[in-house]
Structure 1
């Protein structure tokens, strides 16, 4: 990594994607003189992934888990020696609830995503009217749409399952992932597997039944995984392993320009970095500002990816105060309910080891796409708003012992209809600039496994340009 290095690769952005890319790149340093620099504008690494503590209570600032069916995050955790720290969802609290007209209705047993796979729980559910249940069952008879056009998630769910199923089941479940208005979210960019079920099986219900039988035969484990000490453990271990990376904290990249067959990065410190390849791991809007002098069309395309802002309020109660109302893992709240809250998680019911037995942390999610103004409220008002929502939903009037507010400003990219076409255009523009890569949640998946997989692909591509190969990248 010294001055005799043959090549220099710079990574801009120290969130999970940037860290994963830098970690993969350093896999060749032992055998090849390669210099790696990681530039992060803030004073810490990890981005939205962070675990705070209040005494023995774990408090997640960002995501509390990752999808187990996508292998990249789990594989990285195991590689980092954290395999024994992986834990799944806590058994015995499988139920989830949906707020409907002042009541908390359980999501019928057997639902996979938003698709029913068992008849009896659906028939006895109070979530849908009899008319809504019949319309949902019509999915078994409706022919699939055969063209290749994208459509909104809302339009797709209404077409297959009906308006009631969308409003009271699909919309709140989807909002919990994207904090968005599904009227504008791209089906093909967010849930292409739903479109595949329709085309392959002619029906979402038939397809989901087939998948359920397959999972039963394979004995699949928990859908979501976390780390015993919180998701921040993954960041801490990645950072600890970056012993061959020059990490620069608190120094933002403000300009990227071409220079002698490579790139020059201008930093707020006034220093310049010259690199043969650059991996940009910032949000799309930050990448757009950085790239504007280099490629106006690429900037325009990146600026067209909007973001949602949200806030989470974690309230720590005495377990005895929460026990009477803390059923299942939590509640999602449809837009039709007219509330600021989008979801509530009973943290200790979701994962073991989050708090001592006598304490019960409750995570309240506020804000969604189009409601960004909520982040302008002061902390004490957000805490009071969270408590008002808990009183309205559960009648929980106890005084919390502690409150922690986390703001996620412009944190969740919105994959609008046509998003994949935009990504193809972005990739075409990048082809004009060899050695330039964009990674992160804005492009091909918002979850941690997607970000890690994208980072590993970019690292592999950057190294291949120099006829190098990184260990651990499949």
Structure 2
């Protein structure tokens, strides 16, 4: 006799929602649990902020352009999808990056960019900071660890360990730039817990990194091919989305794009068990025994408010920053050698509109033909969002003026593309982890309801993939418990 499939609805078709669906269907098949899984997304296409535009021989990323290889979940997903052979490394030759100081670019040694202690030597010879600043950084080995259990801002931590100038000129643009955030507001433990752990376990960040380096040297090679710190896919990250959606459909998942979840109702169909009714924008209503919300926290807040005003209120405390990426294509002949390395970052203290620029076709193979150069510039972020009120033409004019001023690039681009991301980058402000604990407790009152996404436990692609996979495992355990309980009746 055929068993009735357990039912799940996933709201949100970005990397987190797709990762949840992919893992859930795979795990359910392994557990021999019949499953009906429907994924909804208000957008007409899947992938959320993962958007690859292929124009002729150009490959341009509108959102994220790569992911960390050191966090294994992205690499593992590529292997499971059979696209690991499409992974590419950054350019092994032109691999330097720079930081703007006083209107001039100063090279950041690779040791600082990748936090590899054995390569920190060149940093002390770079001229980026004064000898007094360098001596202050070295005091990290003498400063005792902070023992308070209170959360600390990213800026406060780096000022305390390395000094004000190192924080403002180096750490802030590298660390806060990843989140498009303000280091004065960002939670150290929620954004870069590794530094907190190094301080607590070794008494010093530098000593902790040196110990980690020794451990890596002593570890034997596992025989796998080596990858650079950041990797991407040859034809763009959209191939990751395509692979996931294809596998989800092959394993029985139902994808409904262009359908927004407008309201959520919950009803109890037996003691301690719930049914979730999702009212959709296409006039339909879907019901399921388990529900995963993989939308931005402010969207999920509106949905859960009738169930838990407390959970909704906590979700609304997670702020989101708006950004824009501007891609420009130039003939290589007019660019010459004005662009070197991978690009540069701009510290907040410089007071510039531009927060970073990447020489995309230098950093990654296959992004443009040899006779053309692809450039991507970044605007917006916390405290710098006013510029996004300008129209596209003004944004392009702004980044062109900045490139002319900083690297002497005065040429006219032959192609320009502006991509705006409104409230797209969640900010993990001080106290984020404590609020997340409260949020999880509030949501746990409703069995089968889970939340995932960049707003909670990591903004990078590997973090979202990991969290989606763990969300799938929690959902599967819940559904299996309902089967067990019914069999005991």
TM-score category (smaller protein) = over 0.9
| CA deviation string 1:440-461 (max 9, x = no partner) | 1011110111111111111111
Q: Does 1:324 align with 2:331?
A: no
Q: CA deviation at 1:26?
A: 2.1
- Report the TM-score, using the length of structure 1 for normalisation: 0.95
CA RMSD of aligned residues (A): 1.9
Distance in 2 (CA, whole Å) between partners of 1:455 and 1:444 is 10
Q: CA deviation at 1:209?
A: 2.2
Equivalent of residue 278 in structure 2, options 254, 265, 268: 265
Distance in 2 (CA, whole Å) between partners of 1:388 and 1:240 is 43
Distance in 2 (CA, whole Å) between partners of 1:387 and 1:399 is 8
Contact 1:116 1:122 in 2 (8 A): no
Pair 1:163–1:268, CA change in 2 (3 A): same
Contact 1:87 1:227 in 2 (8 A): yes
Structure with the higher helix share, 1 or 2: 2
| CA deviation string 1:44-101 (max 9, x = no partner) | 1100001101211110011111111111111011100001011122101221100000
Number of the residue aligned with 2:487? none
Alignment of 1:255-334 (within 5 A): 255-259=263-267, 260=269, 261-334=274-347
SS in 1 for 2:480: coil
Equivalent of residue 242 in structure 1, options 244, 248, 265: 248
Contact 2:308 2:443 in 1 (8 A): no
Contact 2:117 2:213 in 1 (8 A): no
SS in 1 for 2:455: coil
Distance in 2 (CA, whole Å) between partners of 1:283 and 1:120 is 42
Q: CA deviation at 1:464?
A: 1.2
Number of the residue aligned with 1:8? 7
Contact 2:357 2:378 in 1 (8 A): yes
Q: CA deviation at 1:15?
A: 0.4
Unmatched 5+ stretches in structure 1: 470-474
Q: CA deviation at 1:4?
A: 7.4
Q: CA deviation at 1:115?
A: 8.2
| CA deviation string 1:343-397 (max 9, x = no partner) | 0101122111111111110000111112223332211111111111101111100
SS in 2 for 1:257: strand
Distance in 2 (CA, whole Å) between partners of 1:247 and 1:376 is 34
Aligned length: 467
Number of the residue aligned with 2:357? 344
Q: CA deviation at 1:211?
A: 2.4
SS in 2 for 1:466: helix
Contact 1:254 1:290 in 2 (8 A): yes
| CA deviation string 1:263-322 (max 9, x = no partner) | 111112222111100000000000001111111000000000000110000000112222
SS in 1 for 2:138: helix
Number of the residue aligned with 2:420? 407
- Report the TM-score, using the length of structure 2 for normalisation: 0.92
Q: CA deviation at 1:224?
A: 1.1
Number of the residue aligned with 2:485? none
Number of the residue aligned with 2:62? 61
SS in 1 for 2:278: strand
Distance in 1 (CA, whole Å) between partners of 2:58 and 2:120 is 40
Q: CA deviation at 1:147?
A: 2.6
Unmatched 5+ stretches in structure 2: 483-489
Contact 2:109 2:120 in 1 (8 A): no
Pair 1:318–1:217, CA change in 2 (3 A): farther
SS in 2 for 1:313: strand
Q: Does 1:427 align with 2:433?
A: no
Alignment of 1:449-464 (within 5 A): 449-464=462-477
Alignment of 1:144-223 (within 5 A): 144-218=145-219, 221-223=227-229
SS in 2 for 1:110: helix
Number of the residue aligned with 1:42? 43
Contact 2:339 2:359 in 1 (8 A): yes
Distance in 1 (CA, whole Å) between partners of 2:113 and 2:404 is 30
Q: CA deviation at 1:33?
A: 3.0
